[in-house]
Amino acid sequence: MGISEGQAEAARFEENMGDPASVVRDAASQIEISGFALFPDVFSPAECAAWAVAIDEVLTNCPDPATSLRRHTGAIYGARNLLDIFPTAQTLWQKEPLVRLMTTLLGSRFGLVRGLFFDKSPESNWSLPWHQDLTIAVLDNTLPTTLFKNPTRKAGVPHVEAPLEILEQMLTLRIHLDDVTPDNGPLRVLAGSHLANAPSASDREVTILAKGGDVLAMRPLLYHCSSSASADLHLHRRIIHLEFAGCPELPDGYQWRHFVTRA
């Protein structure tokens, strides 16, 4: 599957937007098989612009360098603890077809468990190698356990590497605040790689192109990466990254740091 095929998938969901149940059914099926689905035009340009301005203001005024992530030049390239510093992130996802999708894939008890923010621009360019998202934020990562591994602290928040049975009950929403082009460091995924412990020859690389307001839903176990943006390109690539789980309770006495349910 190449770029054109990924774009065609988004167009197909767009054609079916008059039938929300069909949209969610098709997307859920694609996520189970390929590990991702792109929803077009979930949010308006005005909403995306307002959130981009608000987040920039919050991060510019944030004194904690572990929360507001900056280059040595002061350029912001991301943020941790987004649910704390930008509370709007706790509720902006509560609309269709997103709620219906997560209910379908995660069950009715799902909740929002972590929020991040990414900004790729000429002043704060970066890349990421192929990886899976394996860590979760918890209240206490010092409890005895045989399931959770590699405890760390990120911006003062305890994290652990979660077991497979937890990660399989999770879904990430990437809300694009800007257009994503082939030149500004788009996300690349290996379709189907969430179904095994490592990518295989049958996994297909897909470049995710999107418009501002589009939402990518993906499994955290899906292998993904991104390249640096073209040096001569003067575009932002801002993403609100929200992680959801279908299991309110964790084993071994562990607890999610956040578990925000729909209103």
Domain of residue 188, residue span: 3-253
Residue ranges, the chain, pLDDT below 70 = 1-18, 197, 201-202, 231-233
Length of the chain: 263
Indicate whether 99 belongs to any domain.
yes
Cα–Cα nearest to 109, from 220, 242, 261: 261
Count: domains in the chain: 1
Residue 73: what pLDDT?
78
What is residue 149's three-state secondary structure? Answer: strand
Q: Report if residue 258 sits inside a domain.
A: no
Structural domain includes residue 259 = no
Q: Are strands 215-218 and 68-70 parallel, antiparallel or unpaired?
A: unpaired
| pLDDT one-digit tens code per residue, 70-104 | 877 778 788 899 999 999 999 999 999 999 999 99
Hey, which residues does 216 pair with through a beta bridge? 38, 174
Residue 144 lies in a domain: yes
- Note whether residue 219 is domain-resident: yes
pLDDT of residue 171: 98
DSSP string computed for 212-261? TT-EEEE-TTS-EEEPPPPTT----EEEEEEEEES-SS-GGG--BS--BP
The predicted-structure confidence for 201-210, as pLDDT tens digits, reads as follows: 667 999 999 9
- H helices of 64-97, where? 82-85
Q: State the CATH number of the domain containing residue 229.
A: 2.60.120.620
**Alpha helix positions (H), the chain:** 3-15, 20-34, 45-60, 82-85, 98-106, 164-167
- What is the pLDDT, as a whole number, of residue 5? 46
User: What residues are paired with 228 via a beta bridge?
Assistant: none
- Amino acid 190: pLDDT: 94
Letter string b/e over residues 182-204, b meaning 16 or more CB atoms within 10 A of that residue's CB: eebbbbbbbbbbbbeeebeeebb
Tell me what the pLDDT averaged over the chain comes to.
Answer: 90
Residue 19 belongs to some domain of the structure: yes
Residue 115 located in a structural domain: yes
* pTM metric for this prediction: 0.92
User: For residue 1, what pLDDT is reported?
Assistant: 40
Instruction: Identify whether 227 is part of a domain.
Output: yes
**pLDDT value at residue 91:** 98
Closest to 38 in 3D by CA, of 16, 10, 17? 10
